[in-house]
Amino acid sequence: MNYIIFTFTAVVLAVCQPAYCSDAGVTGDAPPIVHDFGKIGDTENPIHKFTVTNSTSGKFKVLQARVPCGCASTTLDRDSLEPGEECYST
């Protein structure tokens, strides 16, 4: 069995980088989003849904989402968020 801790940082970091934020010039920092899948078998395909919320006053666009290793992947359901909107990463 493999032991995997999935660290999903790029979405949160992309949300708050000045180059990634549009018109309002929104900047800031956010902690990484982490999910511990625990022990998983070689044939298992665990899935976790992360919610990313734009809690700023400006629109932002996620330019890139990354995972720390080749054993995991991520997909965003949308990449542009108005203030208060959410997107999901699985």
Mean pLDDT score of the chain: 70
The whole domain housing 82 covers 2-89
Which pLDDT tens digit goes with each residue over 3-24?
444 444 444 444 444 334 444 4
What mean pLDDT comes out for the span 52-58?
84
d(CA 90, CA 76): 7
What's the domain count of the chain?
1
Instruction: Determine how many CB atoms are found less than 10 A away from the CB of residue 69.
Output: 8
* DSSP annotation string for 27-71: ----PPEEEEEEEE-TT------EEEE--SSS-EE------SSTT
What mean pLDDT comes out for the span 33-47?
85
Record the pTM.
0.57
pLDDT of the residue at 23: 44
